[in-house]
Amino acid sequence: MTDLTGKVAIVTGGATLIGAKVVEAFDAAGAKSTVADINVEDGEALAERMGDSVLFMNTDITDDGALDACIAETVERFGGIDIVVNVACTYLDNGIDSTRAEWLEALNTNVVGGAILVQKAMPHMQERGGGAVVNFASISGKIAQPGRMLYAVSKAAILGMTRNQAAALAPHKIRVNSVSPGWTWSNVIKQLSGDDRAKTDRVAAPLHMIGRAGDAEEVANAVLFLCSDQASFITGTDIAVDGGYTALGPEQQTDQIAILMG
C-alpha cells in the first residue's frame, strides 16, 4: 500500500469521474484532499461521502481570487499543501474554425489555471519540505487527431509546461510530472457514448493494445504513484496511461504487412 499519511492535496476537477478516483486513491493512502471544482453538486456529494478527509471548494481555476481562497481554506483546514493535481479542463474545441476567444478560453482553463495554482501553492509546499505536482496531459497532446485543435494543443502545452515546472521547482524539492490517459471512462466519454461502456470498449479496442478503454482507477493509480516516495527520482516526465495507444501508431491492431503480402 502506498502511504501518504499526513499529506494534503489539492485536486482541480476533483468532482469529475477521474478526479474523484484520484481523491479516493489519496484517501485510501491516508492523505487529505481539497476538491477544487465548479461542479458544486458532485463536489459536495463527494466531500460528504468521503467525510472529514475531503474538503470541497467551489473554484474557478481561471479566477486568481478563487485560487487564493482555495489555497487559504486548504491550509486552514488541513495545515498545509504537499500535492497539486491538475485534472480540470475544458473540451471546448471547434477545430480549425476555433475563434480567438475560444483559443484564449481553452488555454486559460487547460494550461494557465493549473500553472497559476502551482505558482501560488509553491510557497506552502516549500514550507512542508517539498512535494509533488501531477498535470493531466493526454494522448491528444502527442499525435494529430481529426477534428481536434484547442484540446490537443493545450494538452501538448501541458507536456512542455511540466518539463519546465520540474526544472524550476527541483531546487525546492518539488517534483513535477504528468500523466497522459488514453480513452478512459470519464465524464466526456460517458456523455459521448450515451453512458454505454460496452460500446466505448468496442470502439476503443482497435486503438489500444489492451483492447479496451481505460478505467478512471487506472489513471488514479498512476497519479498516486507519482505523488508517492516510490517515485522520488522521477520528475519532468510523462507517464502514458493509454493501453498502448501512442505506442501502437497508425497501423493499430491491423497487421498491414500481412494484408499487403496477402
- State yes or no: is 245 an active-site residue: no
Question: Catalytic residue among 26, 56, 78, 151, which?
Answer: 151
Look up residue 50 and give its amino acid: M
In a domain, 58, yes or no: yes
- CATH (domain of 181): 3.40.50.720
In a domain, 1, yes or no: no
Give strand ranges (E) for 106-153: 131-136
- Per-residue pLDDT of the chain in tens (262 residues, 90 and over written 9): 799 999 999 999 999 999 999 999 999 999 999 999 999 999 999 999 999 999 999 999 999 999 999 999 999 999 999 999 999 999 999 999 999 999 999 999 999 999 999 999 999 999 999 999 999 999 999 998 888 999 999 999 999 999 999 999 999 999 999 999 999 999 999 999 999 999 999 999 999 999 999 999 999 999 999 999 999 999 999 999 999 999 987 666 666 556 645 5
Task: Report the alpha-carbon distance of residue 187 to residue 106 in Å, rounded.
Answer: 18
Buried b (16+ CB within 10 A) or exposed e, 111-129: bbbbbbbbebbbebbbebe
In a domain, 200, yes or no: yes
pTM listed for this prediction: 0.94
Instruction: Determine the structural domain holding residue 113 and report its residue range.
Output: 8-261
In the three-class reduction of DSSP (H, G, I as helix; E, B as strand; rest coil), residue 151 is classed as helix
Domain count, the chain: 1
In a domain, 111, yes or no: yes
